[in-house]
Structure 1
Amino acid sequence: MLLLKLLLVPALIWLISLAAKKWGPGVAGALAGFPVITGSILLILSLEQDVAFVREASLAAALGTSANLVFGIAYSWAARNQSWPLSLLAGLAAYALAVALSHWAQPSGWQCAAFGLLFLPLVDKCFPAPPNAPDRPPRHAGMAARMLAGAALVLAITGLSSRLGPSLSGLLAVFPVLGSVLAVFSHISAGPAVTIRLLRGMVRGFYAFVAFCIALALALGALPTPLAFGSALALAVLVQIVLMWLGRHRC
């Protein structure tokens, strides 16, 4: 279990960083929004908790996408004029406020899923336009630091989640692990314009993310746990493929 926590997220950060270099920040952002981190955390929770706990956490995670995107919006606006530490602070403060409001509202599991889905079409308009600046392609410099930061965040989140109950566990499962690590290192190495495009690109990935959370909640209990995760992941991949196709053929 510990080995899974230590190796999975750093490997994903490495792969997404390579994608940013090869295909640009928009594609990397879409991959970062895909349910790789949260799916892994929910899988770890399924090995430690019962089905009802993981189902409720999965639906809360669908709402957690909104808090994750609020992080990206706040970071993006701050990054236009501020350095990465202040941008990160703004993003984390906005994320914490969104989580606190979500937890205070105490929506039901399916209300969480509905709000998370309805928020996605609106959020793209909330990002600022990237500043006019020459692009600097992301470098591999700091890759080890990115991977270590990602592993540390996942260890902290999974260590806390079992003590906080399914609702907060689901919300924290969508903590912007990849978003924060990739945003900071993109900001440092490539500048604010690339960082904003990366964070904005995550919106597209979160459609697949919400589809994964809803499918997992429906499948848990009805199917064996490995098959439930496999079917939810298959739906997420299908949604992502459809969105990428629509994006390429948009008039």
Structure 2
Amino acid sequence: MVFVPLLAAPTLMLAATAAERRFGPAVAGAMAAMPVALSVIVLAVGAELGRDAGATLAAGAASHVVAQVAFALVFAAVLTRRGPALGLLAGTTAFVALSLLVAPIPPLFAIVAGVPALLLGTALIKGSDPSTRRSYENPCSETNRIVKGSDPLVAGLGAMAAFVMVGASLVTADLAGPAAAGTIGAFPALSTALALVLARSRGVEAAASALRGLVGGLRAYLVFCVTVAVVAPGFGVIVAVPLALAGCAIAYAALLSSVPRRAVCVTGASG
């Protein structure tokens, strides 16, 4: 099962780059938050350690939404000023620091705290410099689309990131328990891979926009985690994960339906 992300993650990353060409980097960033690797981790842990372990892992991942929001906003802010390397370091530091803060908090309270964190993160993004947003109003321009030649790099980085995350989470589940594995699974590895490719092919502003889009995608991620945590104890992860993915898809549909029609590139070629 650990090899499933080698297919699923590249598919998601290529879909995200296609969405980036059509809707812009923020939508691509939201799509990269899709819990592809996490669903595999939950299924594997649930099959090995039982349905309660799968639910505990999902709850642990959901309790780190606050840390994920901090990661996205800090990474984006530092990225535009100091570059990708320092941006990733700062974002990871923020994620670890918030993870340590929420660790002693009961998962239910940490999960509830994720809702205002998402709302605050969205408000901060909307209140950012409008000149940054204007540069993405025309996704059809040559400077506002990811280069197609980067697609193999996107797929490769996505596969590697997901594979490492799944492997690390499964080892952590065996050594430290499913709650700790949820922390590892919550790290936004696919979003990091997408941001690094965008920074290389499109520039730091596009990468920062994708990271801010991650905050929107975390709403669907939270739906997935909470659904698994609630359903798995009674019905098992085999039922909970597909149901949670369906809820996640509905949340993404609602998110994408709010994208203004003028942000869609409708002119001919995608190259």
TM range (shorter): 0.7 to 0.9
Shift in alpha-carbon separation, 1:133–1:92, aligned structure 2, 3 A: same
The one of 156, 166, 176 aligned to 1:154: 166
| Residues paired across the two proteins, number | 247
Tell me the residue number matched to 1:64.
64
What's the offset of the Cα at 1:113? 1.9
> How far 1:159 sits from its partner (Å)?
2.8
User: Which residue of structure 1 aligns with residue 208 of structure 2?
Assistant: 196
Q: Is the contact made by 1:6 and 1:155 (CA closer than 8 Å) also made in structure 2? A: no
TM-score (norm 1): 0.87
Residues 195 and 207 in structure 2, CA contact (< 8 A), matched pair in contact too: yes
Query: What secondary structure does 2:241 align onto?
Result: helix
Q: Distance in 1 between matches of 2:165 and 2:230?
A: 28
Partner of 1:225: 237
Instruction: Identify which range, 187-196 or 123-132, moves more after superposition.
Output: 123-132
State the one-letter code of the partner of 1:62.
A
Aligned CA distance change for structure 1 residues 49 and 24 (closer, same or farther; 3 Å): same
User: Contact 1:131–1:192 (CA<8 Å) still a contact in 2?
Assistant: no
Moved more, 34-43 or 87-96: 34-43
Change (3 A) 1:39 1:65: farther
Unaligned segments of structure 1, at least 5 residues: none
* Residue from 128, 143, 159 that aligns with 2:154: 143
Whichever residue aligns with residue 88 of structure 2, its letter is L
Rate the CA distance shift 1:156–1:57 in 2: closer, same or farther, 3 A. closer
Residue type of the alignment partner of 2:23: W
Whole-angstrom distance in 2 between the partners of 1:41 and 1:93: 24
Alpha-carbon spacing, 1:178–1:165, altered in 2? closer, same or farther (3 Å): same
Change (3 A) 1:185 1:206: same
Structure 2 match to 1:79: 79
Name the CA shift for 1:53/1:201 in 2 (closer, same or farther; >3 Å). Answer: same
Report the residue type matching 1:47 in the other structure: A
For 2:110, the equivalent position in structure 1 comes to: 112
Q: CA deviation at 1:209?
A: 1.2
Listed one character per residue, the Cα deviations across residues 132-153 of structure 1 (whole Å, up to 9, x for unaligned) are 8794421232335423532334
**Contact 2:173/2:180 (<8 A) preserved:** yes
In 2: Cα distance, 1:102 partner to 1:212 partner:
20
Cα distance, 1:75 vs. partner? 1.0
Of stretches 174-183 and 146-155 in structure 1, the one that deviates more from structure 2 is: 146-155
Provide the C-alpha distance between the structure 1 equivalents of 2:166 and 2:91, rounded to a whole number of angstroms. 18
How far apart, in 1, do the equivalents of 2:176 and 2:107 lie? 16
CA distance in 2, matches of 1:241, 1:145: 27
2:193 & 2:69 partners in 1: Cα distance? 14
- Which amino acid in 1 is paired with 2:204? P
Equivalent position of 1:205 in the other structure: 217
Q: Deviations over 1:13-53 (max 9, x none)?
A: 23322322333212211211232232222222222222222
The 5 Å alignment of 1:1-251 reads 1-103=1-103, 106-127=104-125, 128-129=128-129, 130=132, 135-139=143-147, 140-141=149-150, 142-143=153-154, 145-150=156-161, 151-248=163-260
| Structure 1, 142-151 or 181-190: larger mean CA deviation | 142-151
Gaps of 5+ in 2: 137-142, 262-271
Percent sequence identity over aligned pairs = 24
Give, in angstroms, the shift of residue 248 of structure 1: 4.5
Counterpart Cα distance in 2 of 1:147 and 1:83 = 20
**TM (normalized to structure 2)?**
0.81
